[in-house]
Structure 1
Amino acid sequence: MKTGAIVYVVGKENLAKNFDMEVALKNLEIDADRVEFVSPGSGHFDIMDAWWSLTARGMKRVVCMIAEIVNGSDLRLTGREIQLCE
């Protein structure tokens, strides 16, 4: 069964100008076949949009994880996780 993950980025800290979301997501080492992200500045505009993108690509299990911005240049998972479908 293919697994998709949505990383929902929260926090009031601003991102550095040279912040690369794709690199930050890879550094999280999430065990999923595909990872999408939701953040104010880029990525999907809401969880539903990211979920649709994953299910359209064949993901049967979708988990939403919450990450916060750290030092303006990195992401850290908060440990909160919501399973959206299986």
Structure 2
Amino acid sequence: MAEEAGVSVTGLHRHVRSATGLSPGAWLIAERVRHARGLLEETTLSIDAVARASGFGEAVNLRKHFGRAVGLSPTAYRLRFDTSTAR
């Protein structure tokens, strides 16, 4: 990423941290979780498809990072937005 941005790795870390308060790696995971949340709220894609579409590759990676960030599994999170069942 640093090379593509035309800055040093240290410069990239410094810039991302000052802009977001997070390391580049933590920022990337947060953005992937944010994208996954949107997909879980608005689509019926499988958890595997959500994992791939949000950059986690495999569902196990989505579950790990999503659970840490949100405190729920992707499936439990999706159920909060399921309007097909009466409550």
Same fold (TM over 0.5): no
Q: Give 1 or 2: higher helix fraction.
A: 2
Q: Give 1 or 2: higher strand fraction.
A: 1
Larger Rg over CA atoms: 2
Question: Normalising to structure 2: TM-score of the pair?
Answer: 0.27
- Relative contact order (C-alpha < 8 Å, sep 6+): which is higher? 1
